[in-house]
Amino acid sequence: MSIIKKTRTFSEYKKKLESLPSNTRRAKLGAIKKFEIFCKSQHNVSVEDLCSELLGMKKQNEEEYIDTLYDILQECINELSKTVNANSLRTLFTNIRSYIYYFGIKTDSQDVKQLLVFPRVKHEEKYPLKHSELFKIVQDQVRNPVRQALYLACSSSGMRIGEALQIRKSDLEFKERIQINIKPEYTKTQTGRSVFVSKECQAVLETYLEELEGDETVFYKGVCQSTMTKVSSEDVRLSECITRLKLDMKYSSSGRYKISSHSFRAFFFTQAVRKHGENYAHRLTGHGGYLMQYDRMNDDEKLKMYIELESELVVFDTSKQNLEIEKLRVQPNEIITISTCKSRNGDFKKVTTKRQNVIA
């Protein structure tokens, strides 16, 4: 019996990653590149050669192998912490562990916890995007309807900006509100879902939607095909916008802007949680909420709940007023009248009368 042993190399490992989502693959390859630079600069070896040396050491002296391995990993953590924030560093290290595991260097979770020291992650309270700030940002893009629609879509639907930038005209379904059917390949989790956008967003979309073909992107005007490049470009445009509006506050721990493209998604999530609870908010934003697999909701139910929520998502005062009037038309108020009349035995009693206050 012949057993062919395949040599493990970076090229072979890279092939293993081809089935992963592009963002995940990019993160893993980025971590490998940083570790490769560290190994070359600090020890003058490639990652493959380092792993080979460590495996040779393991055969001769297990204790020396453990000490050397974790000394090198700690050295790597210290070096990377100079340029990588504490939160990202842990994710980066996880990807490095996965890569060296491929070459036979196995790290135990308990050893990592006991033998390695990571910088403490600083948790600053996240800044909540205010309605007034969202209004200014949206209003600032009045001469760019595609970008204005993008901001309104993300803040009224909970889509990630990377998802929104991939939406095509053929993904839209016209109902009482525009329904967007997000394909699995557009999402971070590879899970499709449907969301709705507000009437405000629809009004902006209608100014240019007829000009688009079915396969053209709705919230992006350009020829770039890379979603990552599109997101980076839009992040730059948003940074310019908030600087222009003097809304460019930054977190002291990371130096990042408090208002970013993720703020639109967080704005929707906050309003949705307050109105309908976490399960609904998680469902619309593409998260896995508590017992989500058992809580199933059809499109009509989601739309009904969305319309109830919509007035909390809109930017302009006139939109909010129009939605409130629409609700009154759909759900007329009951006017309760209390009167007093005389009964047969001569006693007086109160009579309650209900009638519908129908708005024409």
DSSP structure string for 205-227: HTTTGGGS-TTSBSS--SS---H
> What's residue 19's pLDDT?
85
The label of the residue with tokens 């906050």 reads 270
Reply yes or no on whether the pLDDT at 247 is more than 80: yes
Give a yes or no: residue 3 inside a domain.
Answer: no
Average pLDDT estimate for 260-283: 93
Are residues 71 and 42 located together in one domain of the fold? yes
Confidence of residue 345 (pLDDT cuts 50, 70, 90): low
Span of 2-11, 64-73, 176-185 with lowest mean pLDDT: 2-11
Give a yes or no: residue 121 inside a domain.
Answer: no
Are residues 56 and 111 located together in one domain of the fold? yes
Confidence of residue 140 (pLDDT cuts 50, 70, 90): very high
Range of the domain at 357: 329-360
197 in Cβ contact with 157 (< 8 Å): yes
Q: Quick one: CA dihedral 282, 286, 287, 292, positive or negative?
A: positive
Are residues 142 and 174 located together in one domain of the fold? yes
Reply yes or no on whether the pLDDT at 354 is more than 60: no
Per-residue tokens: 217: 């992107």
Are residues 239 and 143 located together in one domain of the fold? yes
Distance between first and last Cα of the chain: 87
CATH of the domain at 243: 1.10.443.10
Which among 304, 299, 300, 298 is positioned nearest to 276, based on CA atoms? Answer: 304
Are residues 139 and 284 located together in one domain of the fold? yes
> What's residue 346's pLDDT?
53
**Which has the higher per-residue pLDDT, 347 or 88?**
88
Confidence of residue 124 (pLDDT cuts 50, 70, 90): confident
**Which has the higher per-residue pLDDT, 182 or 330?**
182
> What's residue 329's pLDDT?
66
Are residues 303 and 341 located together in one domain of the fold? no
The last residue of a domain, from among 115, 148, 175? 115
How far is Cα 272 from Cα 302, in angstroms, rounded to an integer? 12
Confidence of residue 331 (pLDDT cuts 50, 70, 90): low
Give a yes or no: residue 120 inside a domain.
Answer: no
The last residue of a domain, from among 115, 143, 166? 115
Are residues 173 and 30 located together in one domain of the fold? no
Are residues 49 and 135 located together in one domain of the fold? no
What is the residue-averaged pLDDT of the chain?
Answer: 86
> What's residue 341's pLDDT?
52
226 in Cβ contact with 217 (< 8 Å): no
The last residue of a domain, from among 60, 86, 115? 115
**Which has the higher per-residue pLDDT, 2 or 171?**
171
Are residues 154 and 231 located together in one domain of the fold? yes
Reply yes or no on whether the pLDDT at 202 is more than 60: yes
Are residues 233 and 337 located together in one domain of the fold? no
Listed ranges 87-96, 282-291, 298-307; the one with the highest mean pLDDT: 87-96
Confidence of residue 191 (pLDDT cuts 50, 70, 90): confident
Are residues 215 and 308 located together in one domain of the fold? yes
Reply yes or no on whether the pLDDT at 294 is more than 70: no
Are residues 247 and 300 located together in one domain of the fold? yes
Give a yes or no: residue 1 inside a domain.
Answer: no
Give a yes or no: residue 344 inside a domain.
Answer: yes
Average pLDDT estimate for 308-321: 84
Give a yes or no: residue 105 inside a domain.
Answer: yes
> What's residue 353's pLDDT?
47
Span of 92-96, 199-203, 256-260, 283-287 with lowest mean pLDDT: 283-287
Span of 34-48, 267-281, 318-332 with lowest mean pLDDT: 318-332
**Which has the higher per-residue pLDDT, 344 or 51?**
51
Average pLDDT estimate for 222-226: 88
How far is Cα 317 from Cα 133, in angstroms, rounded to an integer? 14
268 in Cβ contact with 158 (< 8 Å): yes
Give a yes or no: residue 322 inside a domain.
Answer: no
Give a yes or no: residue 201 inside a domain.
Answer: yes
Number of domains in the chain: 3
